[in-house]
Amino acid sequence: MVSAIVDAEKEAAKMLFGLAVAISAIPLLLHLPGKPIGIVIDIAEFGFSFLILVSVWLGYWNIMSLLPLEDGTIIVLNVALLFLVSIEPYLFYLNIRFDLVSQELLLNLASVLYALDMTGLMLVLALFTHRLVAEEKELISKKSLARFRLVRNTLFASAGLFAVTILPQFWSVKLINQPLRFYFWFVPLVLSSITPIFERDIKE
């Protein structure tokens, strides 16, 4: 029974990640830019959501390839992750379509919900990795422990950074007429991009 649930979750994850990436591209078709710069902006906005989903996807499958799923807690976390992934494109779409001037309250709420969604995604991946590095379980070799601990700590830090942006100060403070919250979301992407460098250093 548990094995069947695990297989179903794996297939669901595969489909949901692919569907989420496809859905995130729909705004490019529905909203045609009026100026050439609009094309660049639309692609940049899609690129941000794409990088987030791909980073979560790669981290998820890297961890799941080593972590046994025959565990009630892991199954529940897996379901939570799938839900958070499935709503990411919708929340991201709201953030790029609501107007800061005429729809400030809606945009503020949408950005808070998006930050919460990303906090949840990073936190679930961090908890997965934490289970992986539990030494008593011996799921990975001792040589890999330092590397996966770094990954876990980076995920916890990313979750914390997304959570911090929920604070009102990150909405009220503006930079180039945009709330600081939006700029701060790039920090976890930078963290995830430099983590492989640290991993290579540790392994060497």
pLDDT digits (tens, 9 = 90+) for 167-177: 999 999 999 88
Asked if residue 192 lies in contact with residue 154, where contact means CB atoms within 8 angstroms, the answer is yes
List b or e across 62-85, with b for residues whose CB sees 16 or more CB atoms inside 10 angstroms: bbbeebebeeeebeebbeebbebb
Residue owning tokens 């709503």? 87
Q: H or E element: which one contains 174?
A: strand 174-175
CA separation for the pair 204, 189 (Å, rounded):
24
Q: Report pLDDT digits (tens) over 72-131.
A: 788 888 889 888 988 888 898 888 888 888 899 999 999 999 999 999 999 999 998 888
